[in-house]
Chains A and B, each alone.
Chain A
Amino acid sequence: MNALGVIGGVLQFVLVVAGSPFLVGVMRQVRARLEGRAGAGIGQPWRDLRKLLRKESITPRGTSEVFRIAPLVLVATTVVVAIVAPFVTTASAVDSVADLFAVVALLALGTVALALAGLDTGTAFGGMGASREMTIIALVEPTLLVSIFALSVRVGSTNLGAIVTSTLQDPARVISPVSLLAAVALVVVIIAETGRLPVDNPSTHLELTMVHEAMILEYAGRDLGLVEWASAMRLTAFLGLLANLFVPWGIATAATPVALLAGVAAFVIKVVLLGVLLSAGEVFLAKLRLFRVPELLAGSFLLSLLAVTASFFLAQPH
């Protein structure tokens, strides 16, 4: 735990917590413009959150503590990831938590909490959403692990900061087959994990096509606000990971104000750029049939497996 890590942790916390609704706003605005609409402005998600936090929460009859705690777990896991992962600085506030396996498992823990909440309501939609989300995560989690492992094999460490640092030192790695395969696999699973098209439609009203939304149909007010906030933060965290694992330049390696400022700016630019690309891409896609989704995910798992095999073959003994 050093100064750079602590400052970085605070900066990342503020950036992700305060900035993630704006990211969602930007993405919605891009989509609106491409559809020929005017759009509600990039501050709209923040207005939504402010309003949701003012509203009352509702506990449906027959639900237990699991339903009430789930939004909290979801936000807490995401915030911990936002603090420890290498977004603004390569050093981490809590270095022994900034491990790839820990970060992936933390994000999965949030999803599990929400799925349990969906089951806890005992409604048909809650169970349906939980079942689908678990099917997706059962394929997404391995792909995430394997594709980031492909990157960590040649570094010899699963610490995310170490992976980013080593890419900084050896830029040629970015265009190696390992990186490219892993990048493609990661993009697919990030789309699936954050519930974007073509896996899940975040703005659907049709219960039968829902995945993520079906689990949270019972949440209202404050609870719903936390869930939506967490979704925005998870999206930011995933895009941030994607950006910094493959294009880490700009990230702060020293605790000087200039470096930190550059780190913040680089992170914001990279994430917003990825967000714009993602939402622009969505305009061209229709949602896949639910049972075609596993084929997509299996494909990405295969890519990540290829990546990790390639990394074992290409790695030089050290």
Chain B
Amino acid sequence: MLSLWRKIRRTGRVAEPAPSQPSEELSVAAELGGSVQIRHVDAGSCNGCEVEIGSAFGPVYDAERYGARLVASPRHADALLVTGPVTRNMAEPLRRTYEALPEPKFVVAVGDCARNCGVFAEAYGVTGAVRDVVPVDVEIAGCPPRPEEIVEGLRKLTGR
């Protein structure tokens, strides 16, 4: 326990200084008022984006400081964070998850696969991009997108 305490003191703050606020804020998201609870849905991803989402919410990039937080149930969430091309088996669950969200609700498509199926385009098991299944509000490009880009995309929703 003492060693942990020493480690905490030695490490100090690891969060990088906050970059300036992105210029374009989603006007529809103003109702959220700086608080966005997020439910993550893996619609068929290779887990590359998951690793980056993990570090976006880790200490270094600390997405939580802008008011974004991952939650356990879509009922608690304001936004879906969807990764991967939507596979046939995940199309219906994704739709249901979207329906389970209380209004107002948003969808963030993370990664090239979620935007346009990426390398999996036209594959036999893929239904399509996220926007083919549920309406998408924010898209974050990259394969996988860097944590900064994910944080920046989320800040469009939180407005902070």
Contacts and interface: CB of A to CB of B under 8 A. Distances in A.
Report A-B touching, CB under 8 Å: yes
Interface of A: 32-41, 44, 47-48, 50-51, 54-58, 204-207, 210, 213, 217-221, 224, 283-284
Chain A residues touching B, majority SS: loop
A50 B75 contact: no
24 contacts: A36-B14, A37-B14, A37-B15, A37-B62, A37-B64, A38-B13, A38-B18, A39-B62, A39-B64, A40-B64, A40-B65, A40-B67, A41-B65, A44-B35, A47-B33, A54-B31, A56-B102, A58-B75, A58-B102, A205-B70, A218-B73, A218-B75, A219-B76, A220-B102
Interface residues of B, number: 34
Contacts of B135: none
Interface string B27-41: 000011111010000
A47 B34 contact: yes
B37 A48 contact: yes
* 4 shortest interchain CB distances as A-B pairs: A36-B14, A220-B75, A220-B102, A38-B15
Interface stretch (B4-12, B80-88, B110-118): B4-12
B15 A36 contact: yes
A233 B43 CA distance: 38
Interface in B91-125: 100, 102-104
A55 B67 contact: no
Chain B residues touching A, majority SS: loop
B65 A39 contact: yes
A57 B13 contact: no
A224 B75 contact: yes
Given A34-B8, A36-B15, A37-B15, A51 B33 contact: yes
A58 B73 CA distance: 13
Contacts of B15: 36-38
B48 interface: no
Contacts of B32: 51
Contact of B103 (A44, A48, A55, A218): A55
A117 B10 CA distance: 46
Most buried by A among B1, B5, B67, B73: B73
Nearest to B5: A284
Nearest to A55: B102
B42 interface: no
B143 interface: no
Contacts of B70: 205
